[in-house]
Chain A
Amino acid sequence: KAGVTQTPRYLIKTRGQQVTLSCSPISGHRSVSWYQQTPGQGLQFLFEYFSETQRNKGNFPGRFSGRQFSNSRSEMNVSTLELGDSALYLCASRGLVGNTGELFFGEGSRLTVL
């Protein structure tokens, strides 16, 4: 069974640009969550999607947005990039509806903003 796949793995952007990251969850998983990981702030929750609906959102500005498609694949978008957006962006999928559903993480997309 294929794991969570994130693309691209690495990308470099300049300030003011926008970026779109993609996440394909494990087959059959309908929930996708996104996290930002930085050395200073650690791992911070961005948002979660389930059945194409955003279920929960972390404390990030409106420049950060996401969506989920009918096949459960998800994208997140960051507009008007700032230097502080440089981070590892992790996607995680979950299969069970119940509270004990384990999160399965992808390897992440490393974003560098110059």
Chain B
Amino acid sequence: AQTVTQSQPEMSVQEAETVTLSCTYDTSESDYYLFWYKQPPSRQMILVIRQEAYKQQNATENRFSVNFQKAAKSFSLKISDSQLGDAAMYFCAYRSGGGGGSQGNLIFGKGTKLSVKP
């Protein structure tokens, strides 16, 4: 079974600084997708960034980028120029790329609570 581990329950960053959130996963599959979701205090989960396992290039979305190390099964999220609005719970998630009924099944890590200090 696949597992996702986030080893940092809480992180703190100064506004305008850069912070990296860690995520490791375990799988025997070769086809899969990795995601970072953000859950602000209002509780609605929002997709931050997505990485397809078959792509070697790291995904980037504005101030958010990932460091995807497939061999090491590591998928960290870097937030540059942190803003107060970035404060939230961040969840790393895995989804099998296989067909059948697995497409909606995300496996989440326990989350990292990010605080941003003004």
Contacts and interface: CB of A to CB of B under 8 A. Distances in A.
Interface of A: 3, 31, 33, 35, 42-45, 48, 50, 55-56, 58, 88, 90, 92, 94, 99-108
A19 B42 CA distance: 23
B51 to A, nearest CB: 11
Interface string B37-65: 10000111111001010000000000000
B42 A107 contact: yes
Contact residues of A: prevailing secondary structure: strand
A99 B97 contact: yes
B52 A45 contact: no
A108 B104 contact: no
A20 B54 CA distance: 40
Interface of B: 33, 37, 42-47, 50, 52, 91, 95, 97, 100-111
A103 B47 contact: yes
Given A55-B103, A58-B105, 12 more contacts: A31-B104, A43-B111, A45-B107, A48-B104, A56-B102, A94-B103, A102-B50, A103-B106, A105-B37, A105-B46, A106-B44, A108-B43
Contact residues of B: prevailing secondary structure: loop
Contacts of B46: 105
Nearest to B107: A45
Contacts of B111: 42-43
Contacts of B102: 56
Nearest to A33: B104
A55 B103 CA distance: 9
Contacts of B106: 33, 35, 43, 45, 103
